[in-house]
Amino acid sequence: MKRGFLWMLLAVGGLTACNNPEGSVENDTMADATEDTAVVYEDERGAVAADGVEVVDVEEEFWADVDWDAPVAQDPEMSAAGVELRSGNRYNIYTLEDRVLFDTDKAEIRPEGVQKLQEIAREIKELPQKGPIRVFGHADARAGNEYNKELSAERARAVQDWLQGTGGIDAGRLSIEAMGETAPIATNETARGRQLNRRVAILVVTGE
């Protein structure tokens, strides 16, 4: 009877210590933080995700220095899905032609495009580090600059919304940039060149 009463006292004491707002937290470390609590630590590079994976952060200038001609990665799954994957030191670039994702002059993702985005989202979630993701929309030069920029923005936003809503990617990691006709990778004088220029590129930061 005395032993049971002693255990009860110890349990109550433990609960009181846990709920004490002035209790010591000196043993807490950054590794104990999650996406919900890490903000308390005011860590400038980002938090530690709930699954223990470090969240990578970059400055805005980073996006302007991307090497779009980074080497093509040998990734059988991406190749099988019809997605071009290029890999730099700190990022992966997943590129899809617009005809795969959208009908002409439309920004609604086609079923064929959904299948490819599913593969990209699956691979993104398997990367060892979590970094920002920016969706770049590109157009050819046939229409006016303002129209091309608006259409590329709508298409980039459609991909962003899909990655967040269906792909299960954290909205806080996602942003878009409408490039319009400003960054062609081929000539706009041929049908094939214009087709290559109409594309969406998903850039995922993978390291510091």
In this prediction, residue 148 has a pLDDT band, given cuts at 50, 70 and 90, of confident
The Cα-based distances of 15 to 3, 4, 11, 186 in angstroms read 19, 17, 6, 67
Question: What pLDDT score does 140 carry?
Answer: 82
Q: 45, 57 in Cβ contact below 8 A?
A: yes
What pLDDT sits at residue 23? 42
pLDDT band at 31 (very low <50, low <70, confident <90, very high): very low
Distance in angstroms (rounded) separating the CA atoms of residues 44 and 56: 10
Helix (H, G, I), strand (E, B) or coil at 180: strand
- Report which of residues 177 and 39 the model is more confident about: 177
Q: Is the pLDDT of residue 42 over 70?
A: no
Measured in whole angstroms, the distance separating CA 24 from the mean position of its chain's CA atoms is: 37
Number of domains in the chain: 2
**123 CB-near residues (< 8 Å, 6+ apart):** 75, 77, 78
- In this structure, of 69-78, 83-92, 140-149, 151-160, the range with the lowest mean pLDDT score is 140-149
34 and 113 together in one domain = no
Establish if 50 belongs to a structural domain. Answer: no
Check pLDDT > 80 for residue 56. yes
What is the span of the domain harbouring residue 12? Answer: 2-41
17 and 94 both lie in a single domain: no
Residues 67 and 106 in one domain: yes
Average pLDDT over residues 138-145: 84
